[in-house]
Chain A
Amino acid sequence: MIPEIGHYALVLALCIAIIQATLPLIGAQRGIPSWIAVAKPAAQAQFFFTLLSFVLLTYAFVTNDFSVKYVASNSNTQLPIQYKISAVWGAHEGSLLLWVLILNAWAAAVSWFSRSVPAQMTARVLSVMGMVSIGFLLFTLITSNPFDRIFPVPMDGRDLNPLLQDFGLVIHPPMLYMGYVGFSVAFAFAIAAMLGGRLDAAWARWSRPWTQMAWVFLTIGIALGSWWAYYELGWGGWWFWDPVENASFQPWLVGTALLHSLAVTEQRGIFKAWTVLLAIFTFSLSLLGTFLVRSGVLTSVHAFASDPERGVFILMFLLVVVGGSLALFAWRGPQIKSHGKFELMSKETALLVNNILLVVAACAILLGTVYPLILDAMDLGKISVGPPYFNFVFIPLTAPLAVLAAFGVLARWRKTDFMDILKRLKLVLIAAVVLGVLWPLSVSGGVNGDLTLGAVFGGVLAAWVMLSSAYIVYDRARRKSDLLAGFRSIPLAFYGMTLAHMGIGVFIAGVTLTSLYSVEKDLRMAPGDVYETNGYQFRFVGTKGHNGPNFHADRGTVEVLKDDVVVMTLHPEKRIYTVTRMPMTEAAIDPGLFRDLYVALGEPVGQGDAWAVRIYHKPYIRWIWLGGIFMGLGGILAASDRRYRMGAKARRTAVLKAPAGGAEARA
């Protein structure tokens, strides 16, 4: 009975979505207040019913209701409770439900937190989100109903994929989806603005905090995914240019471009058409990512072709959403008026360059991700484009971004003198070069020996981004007579931007140092064997059998010694999950701000107790994710700037009071 209620709640949500997509839109176009007023309660009701449906599916998991096919395929009585809950989004049907739930959560949030936005605008936004929701609810109900029953009812479930039985995977998909789907708000604002013919600075200001929050979630989600891959896959890598990763990275890149272009549109009232296009592009890439991951096209194009129902549905949906919004753009675009001139040397140009580089990088990654799929679809064979391609195109496109960030921040609107900025940053540049050489040297110190050109390049770049960001804040605070008052006068948004830029620097430092100075050893170790690297001695003590709730494991013991004293004991495991018979490598990691020690068990070698043991020393690897955290925090700070929270009335008076140079101070 309970699963049927869940199913029914989804159908109700669909009915409400249809109302939400139509009435408020017609009301807004024709000026019927009572129809406009439908939008907010409809969004909240839709959220309630999808939430109900989601809770009931979770209930089916927690109570081991194996008469539900989805539960039987993805859970097991022995599965620990936290993984029973996360198993709800462990496979296709449930993650779609999560997608819809999050979409409706965003819509409900828009209905609650946009009091300063005119009701007409909100109605249009919610109506566009309702349309997207119709698509996904139909998709769930027609092709992937999580509440389908199975008969005869199995005695026990097939268990959750062991790869997903992990804390990282409990929170990674929800975060990622929050980001993906969050861009639907920016998209809906853009479409609503085109429908209403009101593409002005106010529109950009309304959609900015939403875009920033979506971006924050996506950033954190990607960082979590990378962290998970690092410790769970047992390879010690943190990014594989895997199509699933690329699917989340493309909207991130274009979304980052959107953030910057929204800033220009808000402050200067230009780039409007471009910003709208970016909003459409970002959300389209989110949808494309969902298609790539959810249609099965990645595992095998042929499996996709033999059961094309799902894939074809998403493709058609993609066609309608992208084609429809671009058609609207073609129709309404010519009415967009951008006034405001700027010289070649200006902040506008700097941000334009930022946008172009980011979009080109996203296109290059899109090409590398989709090209093998197209080849495969045309029966030309399976190929891997692989990391060499991605690194080759990505690094030259994004390194200039890091170089130019400081110039873009310091540049003035309309007209600026970049040579003058360079003069101001001269000392910072010198400091960055010195630090950029010393830094890799301090890591390579003796063990890996050489200081390569790549290390210096990455080191200087990282130091440059961090130092210049810090300098810019100091420089701005210095203008006030009292430094402390100066720091206090800087708006929160500016701190947010600075923190996010610093995050880029921290990230570059992590990538450079860990990829150039990691020690990675695959060894055959018998009990008592010792391996020494970077001042640490790893002594393999041996392995012991060990039983977990739903797995058996060989549990290794590796003692780590420094100067002949045991400083820590690591326990890497090799697990076999009882139901799925899947072997899993649980690496043992001693994390540190400046280095990770990473030990993983391979296979037993030969007779006796010898094992293949993998020992890594990875300097600065934490900085990769630390950079992501900085960026995320920066985004939160920026989105919580008080100018977004002011009511429409308060803002009007504030604008009247603001001095003429106010615009620059807000950058």
Chain B
Amino acid sequence: MKQLKFILPLAIFLALAVVLYNGLGKDPKLVPSPLIGKPAPAFQLTTLSDAGKTISPADMKGQVWLLNIWATWCTTCKAEHEILNVLAQRGGMKIVGLNYKDDRFKAQQWLRREGNPYQVNAFDQDGRVGIDWGVTGTPETFVVDKQGVIRYKKIGAITVDDARDTIIPLVKQLEAEAA
């Protein structure tokens, strides 16, 4: 019994090493997000630009829209921002932002500086809504259909390939569906 205690650190270390080694070779697409195919979690948050107004996913009912989670402290978001600008301006996408654990003033400044691709931004200061949506970090992007069901989720920054090959075709297809 006493022996076991001393083998434990080695055992934990080796187990970790094996898990990591296996994980590196696995196809992550086999693990779907539990939220896909489920209704978008409801929330009611103040908007980023105006603390007097609120926004809720119900407001977007009947439209195909993207929820993009971002923050000014997130350097990856800055790289993604250009793609969002293009998606909104040239692709005509309806993007709702969820400004995550951020500072209202800094976020407004950032949008003035970097351009604003969002129709509206929900201000999730304490990250509660982020928890409902299963956010582990920023950025993340969801595609929600006309019935308010999540159809796609991307963890991490959208790449040009993601936008061209997945998001744009998916949004077109969803828009063609009946409400």
Residues of B within 8 A of A379 (CB): 28
* CB of A648 within 8 Å of the partner chain: no
* CB of A277 within 8 Å of the partner chain: yes
**How distant is the Cα of A294 from the Cα of B62 in the complex, in angstroms?**
51
Given that A375-B155, A377-B24 are known contacts, is A383 also in contact with B6, CB under 8 Å in the complex?
Answer: no
**How distant is the Cα of A386 from the Cα of B140 in the complex, in angstroms?**
13
Mark the stretch among B34-42, B72-80, B84-92 that contacts chain A: B72-80
Residues of B within 8 A of A376 (CB): 156
Judge whether B138 and A327 touch: CB under 8 Å: no
* CB of A374 within 8 Å of the partner chain: yes
Binary CB contact string for chain A from 369 to 401 against chain B (1 if under 8 A, 0 otherwise): 001101111111111111111000000000000
* CB of B101 within 8 Å of the partner chain: yes
Chain B min CB distance to A421 (Å): 32
Name the one of A378, A381, A384 contacting B26, with C-beta atoms under 8 angstroms.
A378
Given that A329-B10, A330-B9 are known contacts, is A378 also in contact with B127, CB under 8 Å in the complex?
Answer: no
Q: Which of B48-83 contact A (CB under 8 A)?
A: 71, 73-77
Given that A382-B76, A383-B138, A384-B77 are known contacts, is A326 also in contact with B10, CB under 8 Å in the complex?
Answer: yes
Judge whether A380 and B13 touch: CB under 8 Å: no
Name the one of A377, A382, A388, A522 contacting B156, with C-beta atoms under 8 angstroms.
A382
**How distant is the Cα of A277 from the Cα of B8 in the complex, in angstroms?**
11
Chain A min CB distance to B101 (Å): 4
Judge whether B9 and A383 touch: CB under 8 Å: no
Q: Which of B136-164 contact A (CB under 8 A)?
A: 136-140, 154-157
Residues of A within 8 A of B140 (CB): 383
* CB of B14 within 8 Å of the partner chain: yes
Judge whether A322 and B6 touch: CB under 8 Å: no
Residues of B within 8 A of A371 (CB): 136
Name the one of B23, B24, B137 contacting A383, with C-beta atoms under 8 angstroms.
B137
* CB of A542 within 8 Å of the partner chain: no
Residues of A within 8 A of B17 (CB): 319, 323
**How distant is the Cα of A476 from the Cα of B3 in the complex, in angstroms?**
43
Q: How many residues in B have their beta carbons less than 8 Å from beta carbons of A? A: 34
Binary CB contact string for chain B from 112 to 154 against chain A (1 if under 8 A, 0 otherwise): 0000000000000001000000001111100000000000001
The tally of CB-CB contacts under 8 A between chains A and B is 81
Residues of A within 8 A of B23 (CB): 374, 377-378
**How distant is the Cα of A378 from the Cα of B75 in the complex, in angstroms?**
20
Judge whether B73 and A388 touch: CB under 8 Å: yes
Residues of A within 8 A of B138 (CB): 383-384, 386
**How distant is the Cα of A385 from the Cα of B138 in the complex, in angstroms?**
7
Residues of B within 8 A of A389 (CB): 137
Binary CB contact string for chain A from 339 to 375 against chain B (1 if under 8 A, 0 otherwise): 0000000000000000000000000000000011011
**How distant is the Cα of A27 from the Cα of B110 in the complex, in angstroms?**
66
Residues of A within 8 A of B5 (CB): 333
Binary CB contact string for chain A from 253 to 287 against chain B (1 if under 8 A, 0 otherwise): 00000000000000000000100010000000000
Given that A323-B10, A374-B23, A378-B23 are known contacts, is A386 also in contact with B28, CB under 8 Å in the complex?
Answer: no
Given that A322-B13, A381-B156 are known contacts, is A273 also in contact with B71, CB under 8 Å in the complex?
Answer: no
* CB of A661 within 8 Å of the partner chain: no
* CB of A118 within 8 Å of the partner chain: no
Judge whether B127 and A388 touch: CB under 8 Å: yes
* CB of B178 within 8 Å of the partner chain: no
Judge whether A330 and B137 touch: CB under 8 Å: no
Residues of A within 8 A of B3 (CB): 330, 334
Q: Which of A609-627 contact B (CB under 8 A)?
A: none
Binary CB contact string for chain B from 8 to 31 against chain A (1 if under 8 A, 0 otherwise): 011001100100100110101000
**How distant is the Cα of A376 from the Cα of B2 in the complex, in angstroms?**
40
Judge whether A323 and B14 touch: CB under 8 Å: yes
**How distant is the Cα of A372 from the Cα of B2 in the complex, in angstroms?**
37
**How distant is the Cα of A35 from the Cα of B154 in the complex, in angstroms?**
61
Residues of B within 8 A of A377 (CB): 23-24
* CB of B7 within 8 Å of the partner chain: yes
* CB of B109 within 8 Å of the partner chain: yes
Judge whether A387 and B73 touch: CB under 8 Å: yes
Residues of A within 8 A of B156 (CB): 375-376, 380-383
Binary CB contact string for chain A from 162 to 195 against chain B (1 if under 8 A, 0 otherwise): 0000000000000000000000000000000000
Chain B min CB distance to A177 (Å): 25
Residues of A within 8 A of B26 (CB): 378
**How distant is the Cα of A334 from the Cα of B3 in the complex, in angstroms?**
6
Name the one of A322, A329, A378, A384 contacting B76, with C-beta atoms under 8 angstroms.
A384
Whose C-beta in chain B lies nearest to the C-beta of A391? B101
Name the one of B20, B75, B76, B157 contacting A374, with C-beta atoms under 8 angstroms.
B20
Whose C-beta in chain B lies nearest to the C-beta of A326? B10
Judge whether A384 and B74 touch: CB under 8 Å: yes
**How distant is the Cα of A389 from the Cα of B138 in the complex, in angstroms?**
11
Judge whether A383 and B76 touch: CB under 8 Å: yes
Binary CB contact string for chain A from 574 to 602 against chain B (1 if under 8 A, 0 otherwise): 00000000000000000000000000000
**How distant is the Cα of A375 from the Cα of B137 in the complex, in angstroms?**
11
Residues of B within 8 A of A386 (CB): 71, 73-74, 101, 137-138
Judge whether A326 and B13 touch: CB under 8 Å: yes
Judge whether A326 and B127 touch: CB under 8 Å: no
Chain B min CB distance to A600 (Å): 15
Judge whether B157 and A381 touch: CB under 8 Å: yes
Residues of A within 8 A of B73 (CB): 384, 386-388
Whose C-beta in chain B lies nearest to the C-beta of A328? B10
Chain A min CB distance to B79 (Å): 8
**How distant is the Cα of A319 from the Cα of B18 in the complex, in angstroms?**
11
Q: Which of A296-327 contact B (CB under 8 A)?
A: 319, 322-323, 326-327
A-B pairs with lowest CB-CB distance, top 6: A381-B156, A333-B6, A383-B137, A326-B10, A388-B101, A382-B156
> Which residues of B line the A interface, CB within 8 A?
2-3, 5-7, 9-10, 13-14, 17, 20, 23-24, 26, 28, 71, 73-77, 100-101, 109, 127, 136-140, 154-157
A-B contact pairs, 13 of them (CB 8 A): A329-B10, A334-B3, A374-B20, A376-B156, A378-B26, A378-B28, A381-B155, A384-B73, A384-B75, A384-B77, A388-B71, A388-B100, A388-B127
List 11 additional A-B contacts (Cβ < 8 Å) besides A330-B7, A377-B24, A381-B156: A323-B13, A330-B9, A330-B10, A374-B23, A378-B26, A382-B76, A383-B136, A383-B156, A385-B136, A386-B73, A386-B138
